[in-house]
Amino acid sequence: MKNGVNNNIPLIVDLDHTLIDTDLLYESAIAVLKKSTWLILLYPFWLAKGKGYLKAQLVKRFSIDAQTLPYIQDTIDYINERKKSGDTIILATASHKDYAFAVAKHIKLFDDVMASNADFNLSSHNKADKLVERFGKNNFDYMGDHMRDMPVWEASNLSILVNVSDKVIKKTQHLNTLILSRKIK
């Protein structure tokens, strides 16, 4: 491995707080309420049908502008480095697929996109299971930011930590890690 780059191993990139410095579920939930405050009454019913369903309802009511999202430059730089090495780059996010594809279309760095839909929330164990099913255990590198990424990091070859707290760094010490950036206190 040279400079955290593993040739021929796919790089899997999370979206919220890893590629962008925000959370699209939060952003869309707030934006929908700003348009129609009364919809807050429906949020518990949508959530009761699953987080994927909630996200699908929000995406119907709010479109993101992928050009104006707060992208994290360290992440973009690392993706570019891996892309130049010939690695496959995949956006894998718990955000709704419509948002994920909009981001991928805008920044043009991804070879594929995996994301949540109304029936499935691609997060934590679900994401780890899908990635292991597709690539095999320890056959991909994963960029993430949060403790909910632990199952994915544990299944990955290299755990790339972006925008992480000291707690996450401590909890991932047993893994093969590359710390790209820390949260500013």
Report pLDDT digits (tens) over 15-40. Answer: 999 999 999 999 999 999 999 999 99
Q: Which residue has the higher pLDDT, 101 or 185?
A: 101
Instruction: Give residue for tokens 């403790």.
Output: 147
The full set of domain ranges for the chain reads 11-21+68-179, 24-66
Report pLDDT digits (tens) over 75-120. Answer: 999 999 999 999 999 999 999 999 999 999 999 999 999 999 999 9
The dotted CATH code for 11-21+68-179 is: 3.40.50.1000
The candidate with the shortest Cα–Cα distance to 4, out of 71, 79, 72, is: 79
pLDDT of residue 165: 94
Output the CA–CA distances (angstroms, integers) from residue 63 to 13, 58, 81, in the order listed: 22, 9, 30
> What is the model's pTM?
0.92
- In the sheet that 89-96 helps form, which strands lie side by side, from edge to edge? 112-116, 89-96, 11-13, 141-144, 158-161, 177-179
Report pLDDT digits (tens) over 48-77. Answer: 999 999 999 999 999 999 999 999 999 999
- Residue 183 in this model has a pLDDT that exceeds 90: no
